[in-house]
Amino acid sequence: MTELRIGLGERSYPVYVEAGLLSRAAGLIRPRVRSERAFIITDTNVAPLYAKAFERHLREAGFSCRSFVVPAGEASKSFVRAGGLLEEMLAAGCDRKTFLVALGGGVVGDLAGFCASVLLRGVDYVQVPTTLLAQTDSSVGGKTAVDSKAGKNLIGTFYQPKAVLIDTDTLKTLPPRQMRAGYAEVAKYGLIADADFWEWLERNGEKVLAADEEACRFAVERSCRIKAQIVAEDEREETGRRALLNLGHTFGHALEAQSGMDGSVLHGEGVAVGCVLAARYAALKGVCDAALPERTEAHFKRIGGLVPYSWTADELIPWMYKDKKALNGRINLVLPIKIGEAAVFENADIETVRRVWSEGRS
Ligand SMILES: NC(=O)c1ccc[n+]([C@@H]2O[C@H](COP(=O)([O-])OP(=O)(O)OC[C@H]3O[C@@H](n4cnc5c(N)ncnc54)[C@H](O)[C@@H]3O)[C@@H](O)[C@H]2O)c1
Ligand SMILES: [Zn+2]
């Protein structure tokens, strides 16, 4: 088992990575929480696959548990859903020492984390991510959120979990489309912070997507290490360091939002297109050389990660102004400088943004 540490002073916590970890989770959770009362939040796809066995395992280890199942999909990341869940947990007798377990993908993780942060002014929670995206990105770092009509993730908190337990075996049941979506966040780490990792992905990306055990372990660990470092340096996205994790997200969120968040454009699918468009914008502005967007696009294309879109720039650009990075009516973009290095650029040139949206359209 690999143990990484998110170093945040008294809010520090471990991230455990191992194939088969779900069957020995109890012993890792117990020292990190204040009672043996677990409320498990999961979704309708994950519950039949993992929740029963996980509950049984916790019970056998002396925990009492109760599961709360939300409909699978981004629509569950809503204020209304969070409110309903909070009422249900209070009705079920949640007390200050009860801890929540987020068993599922980023939707469950963001929703459960948000609920944990406001329930009784904050209860403990543990992340047990089951998608590639959640194992490499959303479960680590303590950003919680629900979506608003005005845009993605606009209502949320910074609230760190007590532990993250990653069982890479769960990736074996993840549908290929979800693997490709999660892969976008993995590739993003290579682009912003780690050229060696990017090159490794160019050679081994297909293995990760095929849920090869060793390749997944490597990709998950390397991603978590990079995220751990960035989060420890800038927990609340104040210095610009953590903002680099948003490479491709200003474009990507616009696609997700314009699609109505109905599952037709997944978060990671938006990010993949967004990384390519950010690279094209950067090359047009002379921030990176012309080869970088080509290389980025070639890799995402090869792994089948680029979804087509037919919306116009006029439909998409308004969403970019609602991005959390937008300030005073200006769009700020994370741009690649070279493979393994990126920076935030303020006050994007809208004509160039318009051009890359139009040229990327199919
Ligand atoms: N908090 C953060 O820092 C952060 C970072 C990145 C993304 N996010 C958020 O994460 C969300 C996307 O997360 P996601 O891609 O995990 O989506 P998701 O949670 O919707 O999971 C994707 C699908 O896979 C199913 N699933 C989950 N695990 C499975 C398994 N092991 N086997 C079979 N099916 C499984 C789910 O039921 C769902 O249908 C977005 O809302 C995004 O905004 C948050
Ligand atoms: Zn993301």
How many angstroms does the Cα of residue 131 sit away from the middle of ligand 2? 13
Class of domain 2-173: alpha beta
- The tens-digit pLDDT sequence of the chain (362 residues) is 999 999 999 999 999 999 999 999 999 999 999 999 999 999 999 999 999 999 999 999 999 999 999 999 999 999 999 999 999 999 999 999 999 999 999 999 999 999 999 999 999 999 999 999 999 999 999 999 999 988 889 999 999 999 999 999 999 999 999 999 999 999 999 999 999 999 999 999 999 999 999 999 999 999 999 999 999 999 999 999 999 999 999 999 999 999 988 889 999 999 999 999 999 999 999 999 999 999 999 999 999 889 999 999 999 999 999 887 777 889 999 999 999 999 999 999 999 999 999 999 98
Best residue among 46, 114, 143, 231 to mutate for probing ligand 1's pocket (most ligand atoms within 8 Å of CB) is 46
Residue 11 annotated among the catalytic residues of the structure? no
How many angstroms does the Cα of residue 349 sit away from the middle of ligand 1? 32
- For the chain, give every domain's residue range: 2-173, 176-360
Residue found by looking up tokens 């616009």 in the block: 254
Best residue among 45, 146, 307 to mutate for probing ligand 1's pocket (most ligand atoms within 8 Å of CB) is 45
Nearest CA to ligand 1 atom 19: 105
Contacts of 243 (CB under 8 A, 6+ apart): 234, 237, 325, 334, 344
Class of domain 176-360: mainly alpha
CA distance 360 to 23: 45
Per the CB < 8 A criterion, the answer to whether 100 and 115 are in contact is yes
